Amino acid sequence: MKNLPAPAVVDFGRLRVACSSCSLRELCLPAGLEAREMEKIDRLVNQRRRVRKGEHLYRAGAPLAALYAIRSGFMKSCVLYEDGREQVAGFHMMGDLLGMDAIGGGRHMSDTVALEDCEVCEIPFPVLQRLSREVPSLQHQLHRVMSREIVRDYGVMLLLGSMKAEERLAAFLLNLSQRFSARGYSPTEFNLRMTRQEIGSYLGLKLETVSRSFSAFQEQKLIKVRQRHVCILDLAGLRAMLGPPR
Amino acid sequence: MKNLPAPAVVDFGRLRVACSSCSLRELCLPAGLEAREMEKIDRLVNQRRRVRKGEHLYRAGAPLAALYAIRSGFMKSCVLYEDGREQVAGFHMMGDLLGMDAIGGGRHMSDTVALEDCEVCEIPFPVLQRLSREVPSLQHQLHRVMSREIVRDYGVMLLLGSMKAEERLAAFLLNLSQRFSARGYSPTEFNLRMTRQEIGSYLGLKLETVSRSFSAFQEQKLIKVRQRHVCILDLAGLRAMLGPPR
DNA sequence: CGCGTCCCTTGATATAGGTCAAATTGAGGA
DNA sequence: TCCTCAATTTGACCTATATCAAGGGACGCG
């Protein structure tokens, strides 16, 4: 939550940002827009913001000011009880759009925290509303993104409601793999940005169980893990963990 | 929950339907619109549709044609695996808007089935898109509804990820109570429309566990259950089940 | 370079909830 | 009215995962 320490060279806040020249435009909110429409969209993002590891992008209860698109870095969102229990509701990476939980009530309903230094594009919500009226395909795109979030949540329910520990972890790894792949990174080798505890919270398991499942997969030669570094050795085998075992 | 006194003869498909005169307008999509705007909205719903108990409103894979608002009756949505496992993702009652999972990919991602005879308003999606461009507060309302669905899903994740059996059931009953209450029904006495199995699927439990938890609550004088009929005797006590026990 | 802290792994044990089985109840149909 | 079938309840037992506990890296800081 601190300000920039010493605007090293570039002041991101002032930097002119344009979706039309962003390398993530095919993954992010403007995906699928035509060049003509993209121009109008460039007014959408008024500034970038840095979020340092451990800092909050927003907290539950904070009024909705903007939605955020991740430019770089990794984040988690959590929902909390009154009594302090915390449940990780999702992990987010570049191209993901955050903050949609706040549209309904005008206040954020989750905490979103950077798991490593991040850079996000700030999209003032009123601007987004106005522009999406003017640019029908932006409107449609926004609806698509929200809808996909709903579908993603259904997937998590399925996972939490009917899968057992190792299935959950396999699904988690495959999901990460697929998302890294879609962003041009290796689908089989990556670094986890979250702790075993955070993975466990997301999967509805204790950290020990997560750790044991990792070890079991390694035993079966499905993956190779060392701390946060994961290598998927047998993608098909990992997929097979999901279906058959009733 | 009953129909109007005399509709025995009316063909619902042909019936002129108007949100502005609907008794659910404050709960449903048009909530909060002004009279002036409400008029435009009346074009939104082109017909009503009956769905008999056990029939599908839509199936996973079906192309998105319309969103649906429940006029009366009770439904469930399920997501399925390849291998046939099924997870109930939600229960829906009058005023709820269904089908938003299909906006992202153009196809429904869940099965929605009537748990009793239902009546729904069909809202052709293209019409909704066009009107929400013309009527900003409808646009906003649509965003609100989608956002609230996301928040609801977060709540289910919390439930599935970090609560134990009796807490889950308590949360489930309190949620129903609150929704019935918001619709003008008794918050403390109602009939469940779903089986123990369906409750179990939704809560990530087996039907036997659901049954035992019901019995335990009854033992503690928190509720009275007889089959599908539930009486909540101690609302505060039920709420207390959620917080304290670590 | 050494220390402290956090994270991860692994083992031993406990338990919540799953599984299997049987009896009871209730609703709808013949 | 009786019959059948599905839903529910309850008991006994078992298993997956939680819990408790101990030890071993890795990393940042002094």
Stretch 42-101 of chain A: residues touching chain B, C-beta under 8 Å: 79, 81-83, 85-87, 89, 100-101
Distance B73 CA to D14 C1' (A): 41
Residue B17 pLDDT greater than 80, yes or no: no
Confidence of residue B21 (pLDDT cuts 50, 70, 90): confident
Mean pLDDT lowest among A98-107, A173-182, B81-90: B81-90
Nucleotides of D under 7 A from a protein CB: 7-12, 16-21, 26-27
Mean pLDDT lowest among A134-138, B78-82, B150-154: B78-82
Q: Are A86 and A113 in contact (CB under 8 A)?
A: no
A32 Cα to chain B: minimum distance (Å) = 13
Q: Are A100 and A145 in contact (CB under 8 A)?
A: yes
Beta bridge partners of B97: B69
CB–CB contact B244 A83 (8 Å): yes
Q: Are B132 and B144 in contact (CB under 8 A)?
A: no
CATH superfamily of B12-156: Jelly Rolls (2.60.120.10)
B62-83: pLDDT as tens digits: 999 999 999 999 999 999 887 7
B189-200: pLDDT as tens digits: 999 999 999 999
> Residue A179 corresponds to which tokens in the numbers above?
């998302």
Average pLDDT over residues B107-119: 96
Confidence of residue A125 (pLDDT cuts 50, 70, 90): very high
Residue B3 pLDDT greater than 50, yes or no: no
Higher pLDDT, A243 or A222: A222
Q: Which fold has domain B163-241?
A: Arc Repressor Mutant, subunit A (1.10.10)
Average pLDDT of chain A to the nearest whole number:
90
Confidence of residue A16 (pLDDT cuts 50, 70, 90): low
Q: Are A190 and A184 in contact (CB under 8 A)?
A: no
State the span(s) of chain B assigned CATH 1.10.10.10: 163-241
Q: Which residue is nearest to nucleotide C26 (CA to C1')?
A: B227
Confidence of residue A13 (pLDDT cuts 50, 70, 90): very low
Confidence of residue A5 (pLDDT cuts 50, 70, 90): very low
- State the pLDDT at residue B15: 54
Confidence of residue B244 (pLDDT cuts 50, 70, 90): low
Percent share of chain A, pLDDT over 90? 78
**Polymer length of chain A:** 246
CB–CB contact A139 B146 (8 Å): no
Contact status of B132 with chain A (Cβ, < 8 Å): yes
Average pLDDT over residues A108-134: 95
Q: Are A137 and A34 in contact (CB under 8 A)?
A: yes
Confidence of residue B4 (pLDDT cuts 50, 70, 90): very low
Confidence of residue B6 (pLDDT cuts 50, 70, 90): very low
- State the pLDDT at residue A43: 82
Read off φ and ψ for residue B43, nearest 5 degrees.
-80, -10
Read off φ and ψ for residue A29, nearest 5 degrees.
-55, -45
B209 closest-nt by C1' vs CA: C17
With H, G, I as helix, E, B as strand and everything else as coil, classify residue A65.
coil
Residue A220's Cβ-count burial label (10 Å; 0-12, 13-18, 19+) is middle
Confidence of residue B13 (pLDDT cuts 50, 70, 90): very low
pTM for this entry: 0.91
Q: Which residue is nearest to nucleotide D20 (CA to C1')?
A: A208
Contact status of A153 with chain B (Cβ, < 8 Å): yes
With H, G, I as helix, E, B as strand and everything else as coil, classify residue B77.
strand
Nucleotides of C under 7 A from a protein CB: 7-12, 16-21, 26-27
* Residue among B206, B4, B82, B69 nearest A242 (CA): B82
- State the pLDDT at residue B218: 96
A15 Cα to chain B: minimum distance (Å) = 30
Higher pLDDT, A72 or A5: A72
A122 Cα to chain B: minimum distance (Å) = 19
Q: Which of the residue ranges A14-18, A39-43, A215-219 has the most confident prediction, judged by mean pLDDT?
A: A215-219
Q: Are strands A118-124 and A223-226 parallel, antiparallel or unpaired?
A: unpaired
Read off φ and ψ for residue B88, nearest 5 degrees.
-75, 125
Q: Are B111 and B75 in contact (CB under 8 A)?
A: no
State the span(s) of chain B assigned CATH 2.60.120.10: 12-156
Average pLDDT over residues B137-144: 94
Higher pLDDT, B41 or B204: B204
Contact status of B106 with chain A (Cβ, < 8 Å): no
Residue B207 pLDDT greater than 90, yes or no: yes
Average pLDDT over residues B124-134: 93
Tell me the C-alpha distance between B19 and A47, whole Å: 41
- State the pLDDT at residue B212: 98
> Residue A181 corresponds to which tokens in the numbers above?
């792949």
